Amino acid sequence: HQPRPVQFRRFLFNNLHHVNTATMMKLAAFASLVGSAAAFAPASTGKAGTALSAEMSKAMPFLTAPTNLDGYVGGVGFDPLGFSDNFDPKWLVESEIKHGRVAMLAAAGFMASQFVNFPMYADMHVDDSNLAPQVVGVSAMLQIVCAAGIEEWRTNNGNVTMETMFANQDRAPGALGFDPMGMMKGKSEAEINDLKLKEIKNGRLAMLAIGGMIHHNFVTGDALF
């Protein structure tokens, strides 16, 4: 089986022998051009069809949506660096939820510490909350870190590494059994997911907020308010 450009040229030379020499040379040149154009024609690989059929990200419409994050509350297809392709999605989701929770506490504390102090730190007041860790000292900061580590260990039965954090496959990311006000009781799945979504969105906002507060005080050298 011969390529079509070769068959076309052979047809011209075998069947058009009665044409004068000048016309034959023109036809031969034309056939060569057709063969050259065919050589540079892109082969169909099916990738274009696959790209067009892939769902695009809601958060970044110019990128395809990360499939490994499907089904998680708060997922909007935001994973521009492809972390979900290289790490356990459950671990990534739990990491975001925990950072959001810490950020919500941090943002509230950053604002409150400008106006309120614990009695034992009454003589250490500073308006710039960035200076608070320096004023209270290393020991006070280590107490917070140690307490957080112990609580992390306790709530997840000692499974605190990426490899063991979800040894219990039924545990949902961020679910640590903390519901002292009973907000989850008697709720439908849709209502529970709505509460989870509100927590995630507030956590994302708080992460941006605390970053903005810290940099405001650092850049301006002034207190937040």
So what's the pLDDT on residue 168? 87
CA angle 48, 54, 55 (to 5 degrees): 145
Residue type, 28: A
Under 8 Å between Cβ of 118 and 133 = no
So what's the pLDDT on residue 149? 92
What residue ranges of the chain have pLDDT lower than 50?
2, 12, 16, 18, 27, 31, 33-51
- Please identify which residue in the block is written with the tokens 């941006």: 208
So what's the pLDDT on residue 119? 87
Task: In whole angstroms, give the CA distance from residue 180 to residue 54.
Answer: 43
- Read off the DSSP letter of residue 57: P
pLDDT tens readout for residues 169-196: 888 999 888 888 988 899 999 999 999 9
Backbone angles phi, psi at 74, to 5 degrees: 90, 0
pTM tops 0.85: no
Helix axes 21-39, 4-15, angle to 10 degrees: 170
